[in-house]
Amino acid sequence: MRNYKSLFLLFRNFIFNLIQIIIFPVQLLLWILHYALSFHNKANENNKMINEDKELNNIQEDIPETKTELLKTISVKTGKRLHIIPISEIVCIQAYGDYVNIMTMQGVYLKEQTLKYFNEHLPKEQFSRVHRSYIVNINAIETIERYGRDQYLLLLRNKEKIKATLEGYKMLKDKLDL
């Protein structure tokens, strides 16, 4: 009886191992097919996204560009007063977080607006961004001095001194035809 039991266990283990030997290559093949299909699906999704981007670009090309309206005046409220500042009176604009300091010969005004907004909405031929924190009225510059290796110092009409980066100086130089 004992021999039959051990023979049965041996036969059972043999069948189990045989099934594993047969199933493993099938599982491997299924895994490879699954991976290949998922790769193919991702490639198709990427192609669809590229085609959608091309279609979107074509649509955007058909839409005429809207020009940003340039400012002629800037209104600033201080207390109960509303100051209307013509852009010709602006000496420079200094970034102050989400605010800016608008400097004129009459004084300094704080306005809740970003420097980026003014950089986009002021006339490019009259104003130049000379530093990440400053936009300068070109007509308000009295002198330009070299300041260190890659910086310049601008002296303005209101006696304000502003540092200009090398890139800012190059843009200013182009606008001033120096």
Span 38-81, pLDDT tens digits? 776 676 666 666 666 666 565 555 555 556 788 899 999 988 99
Domain end (from 25, 47, 66): 66
Note the Cα 132 to chain centre separation in Å: 15
Task: Specify the pTM.
Answer: 0.61
Domain end (from 16, 40, 66): 66
Q: Does residue 138 share a domain with residue 61?
A: no
Q: Does residue 162 share a domain with residue 123?
A: yes
CA dihedral of residues 114, 175, 166, 130 (deg, nearest 10)? -20
Backbone angles phi, psi at 177, to 5 degrees: 55, 45
Residue 21: pLDDT over 90: no
Residue 59: its pLDDT value, please? 54
Domain end (from 66, 83, 99): 66
Q: Does residue 106 share a domain with residue 50?
A: no
Backbone angles phi, psi at 139, to 5 degrees: -70, -10
**Total structural domains within the chain:** 2
Range of the domain at 47: 1-66
The pLDDT tens digits for 81-101 are: 999 999 999 999 999 888 999
Q: Does residue 95 share a domain with residue 168?
A: yes
User: Which residues make beta-bridge pairs with 98?
Assistant: none
Closest CA to 128 of 178, 88, 170: 170
Q: What is the mean pLDDT of residues 20-47?
A: 72
CATH of the domain at 138: 2.40.50.1020
Residue 115: its pLDDT value, please? 92
Per the model's pLDDT, the better-predicted residue between 156 and 16 turns out to be 156
Per-residue confidence band for 117, with pLDDT thresholds at 50, 70 and 90: very high
Residue 62: its pLDDT value, please? 52
Q: What distance in Å separates the CA atoms of residue 104 and residue 73, rounded to the nearest whole number?
A: 13
Per the model's pLDDT, the better-predicted residue between 108 and 67 turns out to be 108
Q: Does residue 77 share a domain with residue 60?
A: no
